[in-house]
Structure 1
Amino acid sequence: MKRILFLSLGAIVALAAWIVLVFAATSEGWGRPALTPSDDTASFVEAATRIVERDHSGNLVLLVLEDGRVAERYSVSTGDPVDGSSVFQVASLGKWLTAWGVMTLVEDGAIDLDRPVSDYLTRWQLPDSEFDNSGVTVRRLLSHTAGLGDGLGYDGFDGPEDVQTLEDSLTRACDASPGNSGIVELGSEPGSEWNYSGGGYTLLQLLIEEVSGQSFAEFMSQRVFVPLGMERTTFDHEEALRLGLAENYDLDGHTEPFRWYTALAATSLFTTADDLAVFINAQAAQGAQSVLTEASLALMQTPHASQMGADIWGAGPMLYAPNNTGGYIIGHDGNNGPAINTAARFDPASGDGLVILSTGSEMLATRLAGEWVFWKTGNIDSLMFLMSIEAMLLWMGIGSLLILFAAVILGWRMRKPRPA
Structure 2
Amino acid sequence: MRNLSLLIFSALLAMALWAVLVVTGARQGWWRTDPGPREDVASFFSGLSAKADAAGQGAVALVLIEKGAVFGEHYVSAGAPVSRDTLFQLASLSKWATAIGVLKLAADGKLDLDAPVSRYLTRWQLPESEFGTEGVTARRLLSHTAGLTDGLGYMGFEPGTPVQTLESSLTQAADPMPGADGRTRVGMAPGSAWAYSGGGYALLELLIEEISGEPFASYMKRAVLDPLGMSRATFDPAEARAAGLAPCFDEEGAPCAYRNFAAPAAASLHASAEDLVRFLEAQLEGASNPALPSEIMTEMRTPHASQFGIPIWGLGVMLYAESPGGGYIVGHEGMNFPAIETTARLDPMTGDAILVLATGNPGLAAGLGGDWVYWHTGRVDVRTLDGILPVAGLVLLAGWAVIVFSAALLVWRNRRSGSPEFS
Please, which moves more after superposition, 267-276 or 374-383?
A: 374-383
1: CA distance, partners of 2:82 / 2:398: 45
Could you say which residue in structure 2 is the equivalent of 1:254? 254
- 1:339 offset after TM fit, Å? 1.5
Per the alignment, residue 57 of structure 1 pairs with 57
- 8 Å contact kept, 1:160–1:260: no
> 3-state SS of the aligned residue for 1:227?
coil
Q: CA–CA distance in 1 between the matches of 2:25 and 2:55?
A: 26
Task: Output aligned runs, 1:268-307, within 5 Å.
Answer: 268-307=268-307
Q: 1:219, CA displacement in angstroms?
A: 0.9
Structure 1 residue 408: Cα displacement: 4.5
- Residue 310 of structure 1 is matched in structure 2 by 310
Q: How does 1:16-415 map to 2 (within 5 A)?
A: 16-30=16-30, 32-55=32-55, 57-415=57-415
1:131 Cα deviation (Å)?
1.1
Shifted more, 280-289 versus 104-113: the winner is 280-289
Higher mean C-alpha deviation, range 167-176 or range 140-149: 140-149
Whether the aligned pair in 2 keeps the contact of 1:7 and 1:407 (CA below 8 Å) is: yes
Q: Could you give the per-residue CA deviations for residues 108-145 of structure 1, whole angstroms, max 9, x where no partner exists?
A: 22111111101110000000011121111111111111
| Maintained 8 Å contact 2:90/2:341 | yes
Deviates further, 235-244 or 286-295: 286-295
Amino acid at match of 1:268: S
Distance 1:138 1:38 in 2: 39
Cα distance in 1, alignment partners of residues 401 and 47 from structure 2: 36
Report the AA paired with residue 295 of structure 2.
A
The answer to whether the 8 Å contact 1:56/1:360 transfers is no
Deviations 1:148-174 (A, max 9, x none): 111111111112542100110000000
Match of 2:92, SS?
helix
Q: Matched residue of 1:342: which SS?
A: strand
Q: Which sits farther off after the overlay, 348-357 or 282-291?
A: 282-291
Question: 2:131–2:188: 8 Å Cα contact kept in structure 1?
Answer: yes
Q: Which SS does the other structure have where 1:228 is aligned?
A: coil
Could you tell me which amino acid in structure 2 is paired with residue 21 of structure 1?
L
Amino acid at match of 1:103: L
- Residue 54 of structure 1, CA deviation: 3.6
Q: Secondary structure at the match of 1:133?
A: coil
1:296 deviates by 1.6
TM-score (norm 2): 0.93
Question: What per-residue deviation string (whole Å, max 9, x for no partner) do you get for residues 26-73 of structure 1?
Answer: 123357554222522211111222333344631111101112211111
Q: Report the Cα offset of residue 364 of structure 1.
A: 1.8
Residue identity matched to 1:257: A
- Verify the 8 A CA contact 1:208 1:216 in the aligned structure 2: yes
Give the letter for the 2:166 counterpart.
Answer: L
| 2:111 counterpart letter in structure 1 | I
Distance 2:54 2:331 in 1: 26
Letter in 2 for 1:354: I
Deviations 1:207-247 (A, max 9, x none): 11111111111111111111211122111111111111111
Is there any run of 5+ residues in structure 1 with no aligned partner, and where? none
Contact 2:326 2:349 in 1 (8 A): no
Q: Which sits farther off after the overlay, 281-290 or 106-115?
A: 281-290
In 2, Cα distance between equivalents of 1:49 and 1:366: 14
Q: Kindly provide the CA deviation profile for residues 294-343 of structure 1, in whole angstroms up to 9, marking residues without a partner as x.
A: 12211211221122222211111111111133311111111111121111
Larger displacement relative to structure 2 (54-63 or 180-189): 54-63
RMSD: 1.9
Distance change in 2, residues 1:109/1:324 (3 Å): same
Contact 1:155 1:176 in 2 (8 A): yes
Shift of 1:189: 1.2
The number of equivalent residue pairs is 418
Measure, in 2, the Cα distance between the counterparts of 1:367 and 1:136: 34
- Offset at residue 85 of structure 1 (A): 1.6
Checking the alignment, whether the CA contact within 8 Å between 2:233 and 2:269 is kept in structure 1 is yes
- d(CA) in 2 for partners of 1:31 and 1:162? 47
| Kept after mapping to 1: 8 A contact 2:159/2:258 | no
Letter in 1 for 2:103: M
| Structure 1, 185-194 or 199-208: larger mean CA deviation | 185-194
Paired residue secondary structure (2:226): helix
| Structure 2 unpaired stretches of 5+ | 419-423
CA distance in 1, matches of 2:109, 2:84: 36
Secondary structure of the structure 1 residue equivalent to 2:251: coil
Q: Please give the alpha-carbon distance, in whole angstroms, between the structure 2 residues aligned to 1:117 and 1:3.
A: 61
Verify the 8 A CA contact 2:155 2:336 in the aligned structure 1: yes
Aligned partners of 1:343, 1:224: CA distance in 2, in Å?
Answer: 19
- Equivalent pair of 2:253/2:361 in contact (CA under 8 Å): no
> What is the alpha-carbon distance in structure 2 between the residues aligned to residue 11 and residue 93 of structure 1?
46
**Deviations along 1:338-381, whole A, 9 cap, x unmatched?**
12111101111111111101112222211211221121122221
Tell me, what secondary structure is at the counterpart of 2:361? coil
Whole-angstrom distance in 2 between the partners of 1:314 and 1:250: 32
1:411 Cα shift?
Answer: 4.3
SS at match of 1:92: coil
In structure 2, what is the Cα distance between the partners aligned to 1:257 and 1:32? 36
Q: Which residue identity does 1:210 align to in structure 2?
A: E
